[in-house]
Structure 1
Amino acid sequence: MKRTRLEEEECPVARALDAIGDWWSLLIIRDAFDGMTRFGQFQKSLDISRGILATRLKHLVSVGVLATTPVGGFKEYRLTEKGRKLFLVVVSLRQWGEDHCFRKGEKRSALVETGSGRPIRRLELHAHDGDVLAPDATTVRKVAE
């Protein structure tokens, strides 16, 4: 099946999904935030085929989310500044998953502050004046045709 390219769409969500929208890529990015840098680390963590992992890593490098650095006889993959800006996306997905994908009392990993070990606050979208915004309080201005 041929993949539909969304890189020329007027919608920022579509373009973002074109760059990083499949689950393997997001899981690689998650693991990179957890400190993984080597092919073998990603493969072991994700239990992913070498071919799929190589393809996803190559794509993430090509769109500037990861950069490679030779270290000894290995290549390391590190998040670029562009990649680090995906942190809120990963946290948002994590929090949505916590709310909607676990049974009450079911064990799960937790995101905590490094210094204190305390849980992080929930993400919220704020208006210019600081008020919390609900989805019905926002509108997408479409590009005029």
Structure 2
Amino acid sequence: MSRRPVRPRRQHASAPAHSSPCPCGLPGAYDDCCGRFHRGEGAAPTAEALMRSRYSAFVRRDEPYLLRTWHPRTRPAEVAFDPGLRWTGLEILATDGGTAFHSTGTVTFRASYRGGALSELSRFERVDGAWVYVDGDIDPDV
């Protein structure tokens, strides 16, 4: 009796692949890295971790997470995603503050996309103990 090889089931395109690399650039799978924050299984412990998880949320177009991690004072009503934009990488250029010992912090980053890059100095604050994105200054010279 011959057995046909079992083919792995194809995952739906919008479902996160548990073993896929995390878009934030850190080693490890999305599910164990930024995915846990996106699912609400904890909060990012530093401003940099929040920045990375927000980048991953932009890659995955996770509007609820982005709004949940935006400061109430500056949060928009919705996030407008550009349907043609494809993010391709994140580089953290500098951090200041933003650890367990701080109430504010900044992260300077470069996010690449097909055809260009965006550089921003982002400001973060703690609200009720959790890091949130306040606002940022985009560097137009990238």
User: What is the TM-score with the length of structure 1 in the denominator?
Assistant: 0.26
In our comparison, the structure showing a higher alpha carbon Rg is 1
Structure 1 or 2: larger strand share?
A: 2
Q: Which has the higher contact order (CA 8 A, sep 6+)?
A: 2
**TM, length-normalised to structure 2:** 0.26
